[in-house]
Structures are given as C-alpha cells and as structure tokens.
C-alpha cells in the first residue's frame, strides 16, 4: 500500500482512538514561548504526548506495569484528556471506559480463542477515530 503523503501507521495490535484534539483559543495567552491568539484553531497532539520519549521509557512497548508506581503529572498520559476530572475538561467517561476495557480484555484473553485473518491494519493518524482500514476482523471464534 502506498502511504506517501498520508499520515499512516501500521500496527499489529493497536491504534490510537483519537490521535489529536482540536480547540479554539478563547483569549490570547502565551505558553512554552508560543503566542496563542484568540480565535486560532489549535491541535493537541495526544498521540505525541502519550509517546513522548522524554516522559516514557520505550513509549511504544506494551508494559502496563509501568503504571504501578507511576507518579507522573495528570498531563503526561492523556488518552482521555489531561488534568483534573472535577475542574478540568477531562473525559467524563474515563472510569467507566477503564472498567469496560478490563472486562473486555479479560474475556478476549482468557475466555475465547480466535484467529486473525489476513487484513489491512493500516490506519490514518489524520482521522478520528483512527480505525484500521479493515476495522479489526477475527474468525474461527470459539469459547475456551
Ligand atoms: C476509549 C474510550 C474513550 C476515549 C479515548 C475518550 C476520550 C475523550 C477525550 C480525549 C475527551 C476530550 C477531553 C478534552 O477536551 O480535554 C473526552 C471528553 C468527554 N468524554 Fe470521553 N472518551 C472515551 C469514552 C467515553 C465514554 C464511555 C463516555 C461516557 C460514558 C465519555 C464521555 C465524555 C464526555 C462527557 C466528555 C466531555 C467532557 C467535558 O467537556 O468536560 N467518554 N473523552
């Protein structure tokens, strides 16, 4: 597949739901040496922040235990927004999402077998949600 000119990635097992977030600047401000003018459309690089090698050791490695003793800032890991849940703009569904994911992953990993047929797992980082071209197909599904 030709990926030239397209912000595409190939992933065997995962892809970002929302690679970036957009917002419009309400009032002029300066941050990190940059001027933000009222009315400007700004994009927050969610994927980039979650994979920043200055914050994360081997950011692409699936290593959930890294969060066991993690004492990072609420702005370091932002798949569902950053900052404070009560006063900020962070995802109101974060806790229910995490619980649903725990139950779903346990079921997929422990209670069923399946095959992944040949498929196109390329996805675009310029699309929200960044679904793989084939979505995600499984077959030969059996209960364990
Ligand atoms: C994988 C699942 C999900 C992801 C990745 C996700 C991600 C996000 C992100 C990135 C934001 C924007 C935060 C910001 O603007 O700073 C957001 C906002 C929000 N999400 Fe989610 N979300 C998920 C599931 C859910 C679910 C299941 C619900 C409801 C049950 C939900 C409810 C909301 C609401 C109400 C907001 C707006 C919060 C506000 O504007 O103050 N989300 N979410």
Ligand 1 geometric centre to CA of 139 (Å):
31
Residue for token pair 């950011």: 59
Quick one: DSSP state of residue 114? E
Model pTM score: 0.81
pLDDT > 90 in the chain, percent: 49
Task: Decide: 50 in ligand 1 pocket, CB within 6 A.
Answer: no
Confidence of residue 4 (pLDDT cuts 50, 70, 90): very low
From the CA of 94, how far away is ligand 1's center (Å)? 7
Q: State whether the Cα torsion 128-27-50-74 is positive or negative.
A: negative
Mutate-to-test residue for ligand 1 from 25, 26, 91, highest number of ligand atoms within 8 A of CB: 91
Averaged pLDDT score across all residues of the chain: 86
What confidence category does residue 54 fall into, taking pLDDT thresholds of 50, 70 and 90? Answer: very high
Task: Return the sign of the alpha-carbon dihedral for residues 43, 99, 143, 61.
Answer: positive
Q: Which helix (H) or strand (E) holds 10?
A: strand 8-10
Name every residue whose Cβ is closer than 8 Å to that of residue 7 and which is 6 or more positions away in sequence: 124, 125, 126
- Contact (CB, 8 A) for 37 and 25: yes
- Domains of the chain, CATH where assigned: 4-143 (1.10.630.10)
pLDDT digits (tens, 9 = 90+) for 96-117: 999 999 999 999 899 999 999 9
Is-contact 138 27, C-beta < 8 A? no
At residue 5, does pLDDT exceed 50?
no
Whether 10 has a pLDDT exceeding 90, the answer reads no
Q: Is the distance from CB of 37 to CB of 18 less than 8 angstroms?
A: no
d(CA 57, CA 92): 28
6-15, 24-33, 107-116, range with the lowest pLDDT = 6-15
In the predicted structure, residue 12 carries a pLDDT above the cut 60: no
CA distance 19 to 127: 8
pLDDT in tens, 68-90: 988 988 988 998 998 888 888 89
């Amino acid at each position: 597949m030709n990926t030239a000119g397209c912000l595409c990635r190939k992933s065997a097992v995962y892809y970002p739901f929302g690679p970036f977030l957009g917002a419009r600047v309400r009032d002029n401000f300066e941050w990190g040496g940059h001027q933000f003018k009222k009315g400007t459309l700004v994009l927050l690089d969610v994927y980039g922040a979650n994979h920043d090698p200055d914050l994360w050791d081997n950011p692409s490695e699936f290593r959930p235990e890294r969060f066991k003793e993690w004492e990072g800032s609420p702005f370091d890991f932002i798949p569902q927004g950053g900052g404070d849940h009560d006063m900020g703009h962070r995802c109101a569904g974060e806790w229910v999402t995490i619980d649903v994911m725990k139950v779903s992953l346990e079921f997929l990993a422990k209670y069923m077998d399946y095959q992944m047929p040949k498929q196109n797992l390329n996805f675009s980082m310029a699309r929200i949600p960044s679904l793989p071209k084939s979505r995600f197909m499984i077959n030969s599904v059996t209960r364990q």
